[in-house]
Amino acid sequence: MNSDLESYRARATAWLATKAAQFGRAARRGLSEADDLALGRRWQAEKFAAGYAAISWPREHGGQGLGALEKLAFEQEEMKHSFPNDYFGVSLGMPVPIMLRYVNNDWASERATRALKGEEIWCQLFSEPAVGSDLAGLRTRADREEDTGDWIINGQKLWTTWAQYADYGVIVARNDPGVAKHRGLTYFWVDMKAPGVTVRPVKLAEGRSEVNEVFFDDVRITDSQRLGPVGGGFGVAMETLMIERYQATDPAGFGPPIDLFVEEAMAIRIGGKPAIEDGRVRERIARTYAAQSALAAIHRRALLSLAAGMQPGPEGSVHKLVSVRTRQKLSEFAMDLKGVEGMRYDDEKTRKESWSKSWMTAPTGRIAGGADEMLLNTIAERILGLPQDHRPDKGVAFNDIPR
């Protein structure tokens, strides 16, 4: 990597080190979710003041106007300290940037600034109970009133991250079920406090409720809240998903590092000897290390492509698929190795510190951001060049699709 980028990374690393005690892992330990969110808002304000809240955003929207490499460098260093970023990742990653592309006025600028400071949160209302990876199959309706031109939204969204704290959201709804499913969709922004919007948190296996189901009962929005053309919502949705293509990745799948496994394997004893001497343990370490090294190489290749002005390909699908699967297998092995003690669930520890919490949350990681099956399709079609799956609903009007 070039010296300017490394200088930028060094400055960011030094600045982050001065904030770790106040906002990092130790400061968050034992906090309630409400207190952790409050800490996260203060952390966002600190980043905004220092110019790190929107590194790759245009300057006119409060960013530094730098490239993806600087953004990734900062995120990689920030991730090491477990700062409270969770609540703002979706908001600043996709909904706010897409809103700024389609809304150009003082209101939009104010929303962006408040979001960057952590004062407001946006959510992304895409998935539905019967529609996960197939976004074009959604059923939430947007019906337009002839006399007012307003839209009336009815339906349900599911797996909406941090909707319980969101002030605004972006939503795709079906305005015309009489055309092919990709064509009859329209994209809007919505006030999450509007009459008719109901948010119900969904408790995940680990006990957290970061995702929600959201109900829309005759929610009225004006046509000025439409982003893009009527019927062009699928294209805007794809544009949204492409905004945040390059994020900091973790070969460990955002679970415990392999060094922790090695450390514990040296302390645990099997048959009177350190577990690290057992051939099965050493094989698991070797396999995990090989997989994570390969993922690190894939990520570095993507960074080199960016540095050369090229667009990385679909290799991110390989990274996500393999890293979380590997994390799940290693976490299960570590729990088995520790016996009854391995089942201990410590709420005070994060998923990067606890094998049981890592194992419990890995299935969610394999669904969020693209399920395994979708990733395998991407790898098959875009990397291996295999033919697409048969799609019997292609070109068929949504109303005529059997369900």
Name residues whose C-beta falls within 8 Å of residue 282's C-beta, 6 or more positions apart in sequence.
276
Instruction: Dump pLDDT digits (tens) for 293-337.
Output: 999 898 888 878 877 777 777 878 888 899 999 999 999 999 999
Q: Tell me the C-alpha distance between 387 and 403, whole Å.
A: 25
DSSP 163: G
Same domain, 281 and 236: no
> Domain boundary residue among 220, 243, 266?
243
Same domain, 233 and 278: no
Residue 277 lies in a domain: yes
- Specify whether the CB–CB gap between 387 and 322 falls below 8 A: no
Same domain, 236 and 262: no
Alpha helix (H) residue ranges in 184-257: 233-243
For residue 290, what is the domain's CATH number?
1.20.140.10
Q: Tell me the C-alpha distance between 186 and 130, whole Å.
A: 19
Instruction: Dump pLDDT digits (tens) for 117-144.
Output: 999 999 999 999 987 678 899 999 999 9
Q: Among residues of the chain, what percentage have pLDDT more than 90?
A: 71
Residue 249 lies in a domain: no
Instruction: Dump pLDDT digits (tens) for 13-66.
Output: 999 999 999 999 999 999 999 999 999 999 999 999 999 999 999 998 888 999
Same domain, 235 and 324: no
Radius of gyration of the chain (CA): 23
- Specify whether the CB–CB gap between 284 and 383 falls below 8 A: no
Same domain, 150 and 234: yes
Report the number of distinct structural domains present in the chain. 3
Residue 217 lies in a domain: yes
Same domain, 378 and 264: yes
Q: Tell me the C-alpha distance between 230 and 179, whole Å.
A: 13
Exposed e or buried b for every residue in 92-110, given b needs 16+ CB within 10 A? bebbbbbbbeebeeeebee
Residue 388 lies in a domain: no
- Specify whether the CB–CB gap between 6 and 25 falls below 8 A: no
Q: In the Cβ-directed half-sphere of 3, how many Cα atoms lie within 13 Å?
A: 0
Across the chain, mean pLDDT equals 92
Nearest residue to 8 via CA among 70, 85, 83: 70
| Confidence tier at 67 by pLDDT (50, 70, 90) | confident
Nearest residue to 261 via CA among 345, 336, 368, 155: 336
Same domain, 144 and 204: yes
Nearest residue to 151 via CA among 75, 84, 226: 226
**Domain around 190:** 122-243
Q: Tell me the C-alpha distance between 283 and 294, whole Å.
A: 17
Instruction: Dump pLDDT digits (tens) for 163-180.
Output: 999 999 999 999 999 999
Residue 98 lies in a domain: no
Q: Among residues of the chain, what percentage have pLDDT more than 70?
A: 99
Question: Helices (H) and strands (E) in the chain — how many of each?
Answer: 13, 9
Neighbours of 149 (CB within 10 A): 10
| Confidence tier at 75 by pLDDT (50, 70, 90) | very high
161 DSSP β-pair partners: 211
Same domain, 233 and 137: yes
Same domain, 281 and 194: no
Same domain, 140 and 236: yes
Q: Tell me the C-alpha distance between 252 and 80, whole Å.
A: 13
Q: Tokens 């960057």 belong to which residue? A: 116
pLDDT greater than 90 at residue 390? no
